Amino acid sequence: MLLPLILAGTVAAQDCGTLAKDILTVGPHEAAPMFLQLSQCDAGAAKKVAPTVIPNLIGESEGFDAAIAAIEVGAGSTVMDWMGTLQRDEQSRAVRAYGKKCQESEAVQGFLVDTAAEMGDAFWTQRWYRALTECRAEATTTLLVNRVEAGAGEDRGSFFGVVEAYAVNVGAASIPKLVSLVSAESDLEMQVNLIGAFADASQAGTLSGLDAKTAELAATAVRGLSAALPAKAMDKARVTLQVLLDEEGADKLVALRFKDVVQKDGGLLYGAVVFENATCKNDKIAQRYHVAEAFDPGQTWPDQLEEKVRTSVELNWSLNLAERCKGTGEVVYHLPQAPFADQAAFSKWVKEVVRVNTNSEIKKAVRVDAESIQL
């Protein structure tokens, strides 16, 4: 019974020895899977041939698998030298491959920590940090934490990416730091990018999916920051709250976003001009437009206005001009890009909308002043 097992082990050893020799004679495409196989059967032999094999690898998926195998047999320095020969896009793909393996491989974790120490700032500017995003080993997470603590410096672009990776990696524990970063920042671009990281902390867009508890904490933090934010940063806060599934909180931000034009009752003043354009059965052109103020309690953003106005109009208004003249026609909605400060501003906007959209072939379009719309 033991003889077949002994023979199988002998054959395997012979095959592995043959592999260690043959890998030195093949091209880079063949060498990559052969090196992976060799690393699994004889790590020492793989480490020995790595300085010859790895430099010739192609920057593609099999090459990256072989590079990871080289890291795991202790040939990380050879892999680092090889990385320097790759094109930038190939380097990026390699880093992503290391990131996918990082969580389960202590060797890859050590390789990334050593690489960060060796490369210094270049580790961050060349975006090696992407490999750390979901690698939650203590050493790799510490790299991200320390980099965020160091602040943006001159390379703000890479810092945004680092913060994103940090937020995904650390999760809920990153929220206090994100609040601190946003609160201390006066630069609009920085604020906008940092606010987006609250969604990253909640794992939005990751394979694991949104973490509901973290999302609730993040939404609370964003709402707390919003009152002090400038308008464009508040727009980002709204989008972030939507990603965090806090639609109610996102809607309530509109009153803060347009606080300069909030009415005395705390609401917002919008409006609508609805044109009916018709070609009657005798080819006569007819036109009628309806004008109404629209009052909102402070929960409707301009891009949500049309749906709400249409719902009210279709229920309450008679838009039958084409039908009455036995012709065909269209109904066109005109809505403001932002709420109005007062009735005077609303009237000025109406006047311009009418001027631009009245058909010059008609002596006078019929105006209908409708009852105000309650949003």
pLDDT in tens, the chain (375 residues): 433 433 233 334 448 889 999 999 999 999 999 999 999 999 999 999 999 999 999 999 999 999 999 999 999 999 999 999 999 999 999 999 999 999 999 999 999 999 999 999 999 999 999 999 999 999 999 999 999 999 988 778 789 999 999 999 999 999 999 999 999 998 899 999 999 999 999 999 888 889 999 999 999 999 999 999 999 999 999 999 999 999 999 999 999 999 999 999 999 999 999 999 999 998 899 999 999 999 999 999 999 999 999 999 999 999 999 999 999 999 999 999 999 999 999 999 999 999 999 998 888 889 999 999 999
Give the model's pLDDT for residue 10.
36
DSSP, collapsed to helix, strand or coil, labels residue 270 as strand
Q: What is the Cα–Cα distance from 353 to 119, expressed in whole angstroms?
A: 60
Give the model's pLDDT for residue 220.
97
Phi, psi angle pair for 62, to nearest 5°: -65, -35
Alpha-helical runs (H) found in the chain? 2-22, 28-41, 43-53, 61-72, 76-83, 88-102, 106-119, 121-125, 138-150, 156-170, 175-184, 188-201, 212-226, 231-243, 247-257, 305-316, 321-324, 343-357
Q: Which long-range contacts (CB under 8 A, 24 or more apart) does 304-310 make?
A: 304/251, 305/270, 305/335, 305/336, 305/375, 306/333, 306/335, 308/375, 309/270, 309/272, 309/333, 309/335, 309/373, 309/375
Helix (H) or strand (E) holding 286: strand 285-296
Q: What is the Cα–Cα distance from 336 to 280, expressed in whole angstroms?
A: 30
Phi, psi angle pair for 276, to nearest 5°: -105, 115
Count CB-CB contacts under 10 A for residue 79: 23
Q: What is the Cα–Cα distance from 273 to 294, expressed in whole angstroms?
A: 10
Quote the tokens at residue 258.
């347009």
Give the model's pLDDT for residue 363.
80
Query: What end-to-end distance do the CA atoms of the chain give, in Å?
Result: 84
Q: Give yes or no for a contact between 312 and 292, defined as CB atoms under 8 angstroms apart.
A: no
Q: What is the Cα–Cα distance from 69 to 79, expressed in whole angstroms?
A: 10
302: closest CA among 257, 350, 332, 344?
A: 257
